[in-house]
Amino acid sequence: MRTIKLLLMLVAAISFTGCKKFLEKPPQGKLQEDEALVDEASLQAFLNGTFNTQATEIYNGRLWFINDLMSDEVNGVLYTEDNGEIYNRRTSIFGAFKNDTYTRIYQNIYRANKVLEKLSLASGNKNKIEGEAKFIRGLMHFEAVRMWAQPWGFSADNSHLGVPVRTAPNIDVIDRSTVKQVYDFVVADLQAAEQLLPDAPVLGYPSKWSAKAVLAKVYFQQNNFAKAFDYANQVISSNKFAMDNMQTKRFSLSDSKEIIYGFKNTQSVLEPGSELRDRYRSDGTNFSPNNDFKVTDQFFNLATQPGDQRAAWYTTINGYHPITKYNANQFNVSIIHLTEIKLIRAESGAELGSANLAIAIGDINDILSRAYAGTSMNLPANASAADVIRVTRIQRELELIGEGNRLQEIKRITARTNASPDRRGASAFCPGLVLQFPQGEHSGNTNFIMNIEGGCN
């Protein structure tokens, strides 16, 4: 019992070091870790604490808000300080909100590596523990490389610089790996997790289907449509998940059938989504146009078409258009869900053509039928691939508003077409769509190459 109590205190101590630069000093509790991690139970408890920190420090809305600030859906003309720097796509070595996010991502990687270092302590649940640790490590590297590096496809062989790949629980000075090296590492970790994780989905923990779903996202980000389609198809065909009859169930206390990986709200124990409420909420006195998320007039008009049930996700306050998606005191948080996987299969299927096109049309019609409460807006059975791709990209924006999606789509489509779809007029591969690293990386390693600064205009 003393060991477990010490372990829980350790996880809490590490969780509160997010504002410190991770690479300037070892995470607190290094000695306590070795004392506390003594058997399989303590190892699993430490790993469970890592999922809690994901829910409360990274996927609480923090990572999505940074993505959304840099998108072309947001009206950010009133933003100042950290928010203004991110919105204006001119990040520097400063900016605690951005830098703390980087720190927290790599602290999660550190914890996963610590579990893998101590894996010999595991016995009966060894596969599950190893799979969870590799899932976390792969997912966190994927999130980091998408934010702090130019996208897959920026260079012909993807030899442009990515992020540091950390494979051990230490703070050794290391350089940035190439984007190809990072993606190869991410895929290897997720494929290992796919084989090791349990089959049955449990909200709050990854299953093999979570790993497959993230692999679908990874391959889709690479515009590798054959593999993206394959993994998305495996998830959908498993029949482990089903489309909710209402989009609002994904972020509510209802038992959504769509959530493939996410976090369950347990009152007074784990209440995820704190920054979703702080940054996106618009009911009562919670909305501030100077700080909170609001969409442009252009996107508001796109998202509030007659008959579209998702128009209820928007409101207008003093001429601004915030969203209502997270207007609740408590809700479960869906990190990856069936709607997104259907959107991946739809666009990938249209790109591949042949029999896959019919599957793609079926997927996008499932989404349209729910959105419009009927088939009035459905695509015909003979819709062209180009039409399916166009409609799917629109539906992706509408379904995933406030989920940090659009920035990564701008990057992915730019890599696919060599032309930026950015409504704010960014040129292809502009440096401002990549975050600057914290100064701590360069201070610890003068050979560390920082990103180019200079915005997008």
- State how many domains the chain has: 1
What are the pLDDT digits (tens) for 101-118? 999 999 999 999 999 999
Tokens 């702090």 sit on residue: 148
Spans in the chain with pLDDT lower than 70: 1-31, 457
At 33 the pLDDT is 77
Rounded to two decimals, what is the model's pTM?
Answer: 0.94
The answer as to whether 73 is a domain residue is yes
Total H helices, total E strands in the chain: 17, 2
As given in the structure block, the two tokens for residue 335 are 């990190």
What are the pLDDT digits (tens) for 336-380? 999 999 999 999 999 999 999 999 999 999 999 999 999 999 999
The answer as to whether 64 is a domain residue is yes
The answer as to whether 249 is a domain residue is yes
At 91 the pLDDT is 96
As given in the structure block, the two tokens for residue 88 are 């204006």
Beta bridge partners of 323: 314
The answer as to whether 276 is a domain residue is no
List Cβ<8 Å contacts ≥24 apart for 287-293: 287/317, 287/320, 287/322, 289/78, 289/317, 289/318, 289/320, 290/78, 290/79, 290/80, 291/79, 291/83, 292/322, 293/65, 293/68, 293/74, 293/322, 293/323, 293/402
Most distant CA pair in the chain: distance in Å? 66
The answer as to whether 309 is a domain residue is no
Task: Provide the CATH number for the domain around residue 432.
Answer: 1.25.40.390
As given in the structure block, the two tokens for residue 12 are 């809490």
382 CB neighbour count, 10 Å cutoff: 9
The answer as to whether 44 is a domain residue is yes
What domain range is 139 assigned to? Answer: 2-21+29-271+330-444
The answer as to whether 281 is a domain residue is no
Question: Are the C-beta atoms of 108 and 140 separated by less than 8 Å?
Answer: yes
The answer as to whether 317 is a domain residue is no
